Structures are given as C-alpha cells and as structure tokens.
Amino acid sequence: MTEKKLEGKTALITGGSRGIGKAISKLFSQEGAKVAVNYNSSELDAKKLKDEIPDLEIFKADMSSREQVISMFSDVRKKFGQIDILVNNAGIMDVMPFEQYDDARVRRMFDINVYGPIYASLEALELLKKSREPVIINLASNAGVGTSASGTTYYAMTKAAVVMLTKRMAFDFRDAKIRVNAIAPGWIKTDMTLSGKSEREIRDAEEFFKSRTSLSMTGEAIHIARTALFLASRDSEYMNGQILVVDGGRLD
Ligand code: NAD
C-alpha cells in the first residue's frame, strides 16, 4: 500500500466548498489529512461536501471580514489546536473592462482576494508555528503573472498582489520555517469561469482557451488540487516563495 502523503496533518482550505477548493479538500482528505473547510456563500454546497467527506469540519466566515476571520480561527483553534497547512483559496473574479471601473466591485475583489489571505495568514500563524512542517499555499492566477484576457485587469492586479504576498511571506516567516508557495492556474472549469454562461458560450470559451495552450486542453480543478498536494507535502520540501504556473502552457 502506498503511503498517504498528508497522514497526521491538519489542513484548512478557505472557500473550499466548491471548485478548486473542493477538489483540494477531497484530495487532501484522501491523502490522510484532517480537513477544515471554510465557506461563505452556500450552506447547501457545504452540506453536500460534508456528505461526500463525512469527517470534514466546516467553518463559516466571509474571508474579507477581519472580525469574522478572527472569530473563525478562534473556533479552529478550539477544535484542532494547531494546523499544518493553510490554503488561501477563496477568491472572486469580477470581469470588468478597464473603462467601466466600478469602485465598490473592484474594492470587493481586493477585499476578498488580497485582504482575505492576509487576514487568514495572520490568524493562522500561531497555529502553524505548532506544526513541524508548516505550509501556506496561496491561489494566485496566471493573470497575476502577466497573461491577458479581456476585462480582467483589476482581477489580475489582485492576483499580482497575491504573487508578491507569497514571496514576502516566505521571507517574513523564515524564522518560523513556514514554507509559502503559490499556484497560478490558467483557465479552469469551475463556477468562476462557467456560471451564468450558456452551453454555447461554454463551448466557445473552451475552444478559445484550448487554442491558447500548447497542450491544447483546458484545465480541471483536479490539476490544481494535485499541484496543491505537491506543495503541501514533503515532496516540495526545498521550495519556498515560488509561484507554480499550471495553465497547460499558455501561449500569450
Ligand atoms: P469558485 O468560484 O468555483 O470558488 C471560489 C470559492 O471561494 C467559492 O467556494 C466561494 O464561495 C468562495 N468565496 C468567495 N468569496 C468568499 C469570501 N468572501 N469568503 C469565503 N469564501 C469565499 O472559483 P474557483 O475557480 O474554484 O477559484 C478558486 C481560486 O482559484 C480563486 O482564488 C481563484 O481566483 C483562483 N483561480 C481560478 C481560476 C479558474 O480558471 N477557475 C484561474 C486562476 C485562479
């Protein structure tokens, strides 16, 4: 029998009730981790996930609210005492052409995508310091390292901030030996990229993004979950402050 890669570890995944976060939660659980999932929007998604992974713990909080994050971590602390892995996955993409700037919507994106990981990492520090192999994984985006798609300038800016946050946290947490790395996915089929689209629009988007990758394929949440497993496990023990681009070889 092959050894499970996260046996004995506890992982907290933000925004873990669907999409990439859900795939990470399932894979980490299969690999032996105790998994705590943060969710905000849908009680139903959280319940469905609990049906799929019964020994999962779920914690509700809007990750853009400092107060709610502090209160959630107080519950996580009571339940687990320590965590080994924090995955800052919760995020939104609000597509908006540059000239159609909307102050509240852009600020909301920054609040969730940038302040969320800051708040979570601040509160997780004490719990991670109790681990022998502490790890933080941030979900950036290939948009944050320079690839372009129409209407995503403000989103790309939030993810560029996540890239720098990753590099700086790896430096700032060096004494605590917390490894901090990020994944920069390309176009992955989740609610973020598919919801609200007709079947035809989805087919067109798939064709478009296929034609933009050297592998001629679009991404699935499991591709990102496997990368997260690599970064969470000892397999990546000599990596720190890095951004792994997982986008099928984007051509522009
Ligand atoms: P998704 O929309 O399917 O899932 C995002 C999750 O974050 C949801 O569970 C949602 O409820 C949660 N969330 C949103 N705001 C929250 C808040 N304020 N507090 C707590 N949870 C909140 O999207 P996804 O594709 O699974 O995206 C996951 C991460 O990967 C995001 O950070 C996203 O920016 C990043 N990403 C996705 C893609 C892609 O193509 N899907 C590409 C690059 C990066």
- Cα–Cα distances in Å, from 223 out to 71, 206, 244? 32, 16, 12
Task: Identify the pLDDT of residue 1.
Answer: 67
Ligand 1 center to 2 CA (angstroms) = 31
CA distance 54 to 41: 20
The residues lining ligand 1, judged by C-beta closer than 6 Å to any ligand atom, are 14-15, 17-21, 38-41, 62-64, 89-93, 112, 139, 141, 185, 187-188, 190-193
> Which pLDDT tens digit goes with each residue over 239-251?
999 999 999 999 9
Task: Identify the pLDDT of residue 98.
Answer: 97
> Which pLDDT tens digit goes with each residue over 154-177?
999 999 999 999 999 999 999 999
Ligand 1 center to 94 CA (angstroms) = 11
CA distance 65 to 168: 22
Confidence bin at 147 (pLDDT 50/70/90) = confident
Q: How many alpha carbons lie under 13 Å from residue 10 in its C-beta half-sphere?
A: 17
Confidence bin at 41 (pLDDT 50/70/90) = confident
Q: Helices in 31-152 by DSSP H: which ranges?
A: 43-52, 66-80, 103-110, 116-128
CA distance 171 to 241: 7
Which of 215, 191, 193 is closest to 204 using CA atoms? 193
Query: Which region holds residue 171: left if phi is over 0, alpha if psi is between -120 and 50, else beta?
Result: alpha
Please give the ipTM for the structure prediction.
0.99
> Which pLDDT tens digit goes with each residue over 177-220?
999 999 999 999 999 999 999 999 999 999 999 999 999 999 99
pTM to 2 decimal places: 0.98
Which of 87, 108, 86 is closest to 20 using CA atoms? 87
Q: How far apart are the first and last CA of the chain?
A: 42
Query: What share of the chain has pLDDT > 90, as a percent?
Result: 90
Annotation says 101 is catalytic: no
Ligand 1 center to 14 CA (angstroms) = 9
